[in-house]
Amino acid sequence: MNLEKLLYSAYGFSSFRPGQREIIEQVLAGEDVIALLPTGMGKSICYQLPAKVLPDSILIVSPLLSLMQDQVAQLKKMGEKSVVAINSFLKPEDKEKIWNTLSSYKYIFISPEMLVQPFVKKKLQQIKISLLVADEAHCISQWGFDFRPDYLRISEVLPVLNFPQVLALTATATDKVTEEIKKYLALKEPYVYSHPMDRKNIVFDLKKFDDSRDKIEFIKGFIRKFSGPGIIYAGTRKKSQELSMLLTEQGISAAFYHGGMEHQDRVFVQQQFQNGELQWICSTNAFGMGVHIPNIRHVIHFQLPTSIEGYVQEVGRAGRDGEPSLATLLYAQGDEALLESLVMDDLPTQHEIEAVYRYGVAATHIIEQGIVRETAFRVVAYWMTQLPMEGVIKQMELLRNGKRLQVLKIRELIGLEGCLRSYIIQCFDQQLVDKPENCCANDGIDYDVFEAFMHSKEKQITLEWQERLHVILPI
């Protein structure tokens, strides 16, 4: 088969990006595949092109509703009509229509939580699936153990679907995470393609301050000097809102984004950002997946990221157009305390584990009464099916040790005297080759490279409150 010809006829591209051809060849050869391609390298084409050849439906397990909707919109924009996203926001009549015509869809997007529901499994069993795609497969390891345990149950669906091929796609995965993807997707001998994850056009900056007030002054100066589009990541929902307000007070078009917002509000903010109506997004780590904006110039971390893996995923949203982009990490004395609380808070305590075992998984009243947190309840309910209570307590302690290592890696990054880029790459079991001239703060940064992305004096603006209100709530 002439894959280049198929690529051109389907998408108008004359050649593949690095890694795409090798991955697609293995999928079409009937192999299970784990594909590690950096952000912006075109992972979606690795299942979309095979779909032109494979006879039956493609089932894509996707982590976020916003990501699903973006992928559906992109496919429809390319002329693909037989695509659907199955989620809890569908109206009952729409769901009924989808279930009755499920086999007619080439692309079926679904969350892991929806996928493992008995009714859904029964419906999927009635159609033929050529390929199951685990999109953003690092979520199996990153979220499955302590946040969304249904990620660990995806393999339970494979026998129901008559064991289709599996393609796991991710931008970031250490050797440990790759092994966990293999285990929890029940992949025995998958073909693994691992592309060098270093993005040469992203420059790693690190700024250290005595306290958070100095960070605020830095942000004010930064946004006056550099134009967007850009993302500022905050550790908490409250801080994302505070930073958004700070930017709008400076006459900059900005909005906040976090998981506590209504779904339609999150979609609205994301669309504004993608349409260029907002220059900056101030967000928790809830923002980013499915955001296809090639010219994001700046990613700023106002507070420490919770892991090196998360940090790389977030800064990887910058510079998809190949132009120079700046990843700026801000640190102030005492930031480690917030980092450790954010990292550890989701894990069930021994008290919560004992309570779920005592009352059983049907006793949801223990959530309502505040005895057990909802997330902790879900996690313990999953592990109850795998281990006795003592085993679950031990498993949670193993996870705590793993999270302590995550924190330690971030601490080491902050205190590093050597090359930041080299350290980050080593965290992913790779070695840095061909260090770029403009590399990182510890090697010295040539900020003149970003001169093209500075505000001109004419663009400096100070808005009155009425104009700022229009920025926040455009008509």
CATH number at residue 72: 3.40.50.300
pLDDT of residue 343: 79
- Burial of residue 226 (number of CB atoms within 10 Å: 0-12, 13-18, 19+): buried
Same domain, 44 and 185: yes
pLDDT tens sequence across 219-244: 999 999 998 899 999 989 999 999 99
pLDDT greater than 50 at residue 474: no
The whole-number average pLDDT for the span 117-146 is 91
Distant-in-sequence, close-in-space partners of 314: CB < 8 Å, separation ≥ 6: 231, 233, 285, 288, 299, 301, 305
How much is the CA Rg of the chain, to the nearest whole Å?
Answer: 23
The parent domain of residue 301 ranges over 202-338+410-472
User: What number is the average pLDDT over the span 102-125?
Assistant: 95
**Residues 184, 144 contacting (CB under 8 angstroms):** yes
Phi, psi of 359 (to 5 degrees): -95, -25
Q: Is 36 helix (H, G, I), strand (E, B) or coil?
A: strand
DSSP state of 372: S
Residue 228 forms part of a structural domain: yes
DSSP letter assigned to residue 302: S
Which segment of 155-164, 271-280, 335-344, 432-441 scores lowest on mean pLDDT?
335-344
- Same domain, residue pair 446 and 314: yes
Same domain, 190 and 206: no
Residue 185 has pLDDT above 50, yes or no: yes
What is the domain count for the chain? 2
Query: Is-contact 420 413, C-beta < 8 A?
Result: yes
Segment 436-463 shows an average pLDDT of 76
* Mean pLDDT, residues 369-391 taken together: 93
Determine the 3-state secondary structure of 381 from DSSP: helix
Encoding tokens for residue 111? 């969350």
Residue of 312 and 457 predicted with greater confidence: 312
Q: Which helix (H) or strand (E) holds 267?
A: helix 263-274
Task: Kindly state whether residues 125 and 73 are assigned to the same domain.
Answer: yes
Let me know if residue 49 belongs to a domain. Answer: yes
**DSSP-H helix ranges across 169-317:** 175-184, 212-225, 237-249, 263-274, 308-315
Listed residues 155, 174, 194: the one ending a domain: 194
Which range (118-122, 356-360, 429-433, 468-472) has the least confidence?
Answer: 468-472
Asked if residues 26 and 167 have their Cβ atoms less than 8 Å apart, the reply is no
Same domain membership, residue 107 and residue 213: no
Q: Is the domain of 157 the same as that of 270?
A: no
Q: Helices 237-249 and 465-472: crossing angle, nearest 10°?
A: 130
In this structure, the answer to whether residues 76 and 27 fall within a common structural domain is: yes
Give the pLDDT mean for 363-390: 92
| 353 in any annotated domain | no
Mean pLDDT across the chain: 90
| pLDDT of res. 219 | 95
DSSP 8-state class, residue 318:
S
For the beta sheet containing 165-170, the strands, ordered from the edge strand earlier in sequence to the opposite edge, are 83-86, 107-110, 57-61, 129-134, 165-170, 33-36, 191-194
297-356 pLDDT tens trace: 999 999 999 899 989 989 999 998 999 999 999 999 889 888 888 777 778 999 999 999
Q: Is a pLDDT exceeding 60 seen at residue 104?
A: yes
Tell me, yes or no, whether 286 and 431 share the same domain. yes
Is 174 found in the same domain as 34?
yes
Beta bridge partners of 57: 129
pLDDT beyond 60 at 91: yes
- Residues 187, 221: one domain? no
Nearest to 243 by CA among 302, 190, 199: 302
User: pLDDT over 90 for what percent of the chain?
Assistant: 66
H-helix or E-strand containing 212? helix 212-225
For residue 339, the model assigns a pLDDT of: 83
Q: How far apart are CA 178 and CA 176, in angstroms?
A: 5
C-alpha dihedral (408, 176, 196, 29), degrees to nearest 10:
-160
End residue of a domain, out of 170, 194, 218: 194
pLDDT at 473: 53
Tokens 């609380």 -> residue: 341
Instruction: Say yes or no: 131 and 242 in one domain.
Output: no
The CA dihedral of 109, 110, 116, 121, to the nearest 10 degrees, is -40
Q: What is the mean pLDDT of residues 282-288?
A: 88
CA distance 277 to 10: 31
Backbone angles phi, psi at 174, to 5 degrees: -75, 175
Boundary residue ending a domain (149, 174, 194): 194
Band the pLDDT of 203: cuts 50, 70, 90.
Answer: very high
pLDDT at 439: 96
- Residue 463: pLDDT band (50, 70, 90) is very low
Report the pLDDT value the prediction gives residue 174, as an integer from 0 to 100.
87
What mean pLDDT do residues 253-257 have?
Answer: 95
Largest separation between any pair of C-alpha atoms in the chain:
67
pLDDT of 462 > 80? The answer is no
Instruction: Please report the pLDDT score of residue 144 as a whole number.
Output: 79
Residue 28 predicted with pLDDT over 90:
yes
Q: Does residue 75 sit in the same domain as residue 218?
A: no
Dihedral, 155, 135, 402, 407 alpha carbons, nearest 10: -170
Classify residue 362: in a domain, yes or no: no
- Would you say residue 471 has pLDDT above 50? no
d(CA 263, CA 286): 12
* Reported confidence tier of residue 456, pLDDT bands at 50, 70, 90: low
Alpha helices in 292-363 (DSSP H): 308-315, 335-344, 350-359
**Where does residue 306 fall: left (phi above 0), alpha (psi -120 to 50 degrees), or beta otherwise?**
alpha
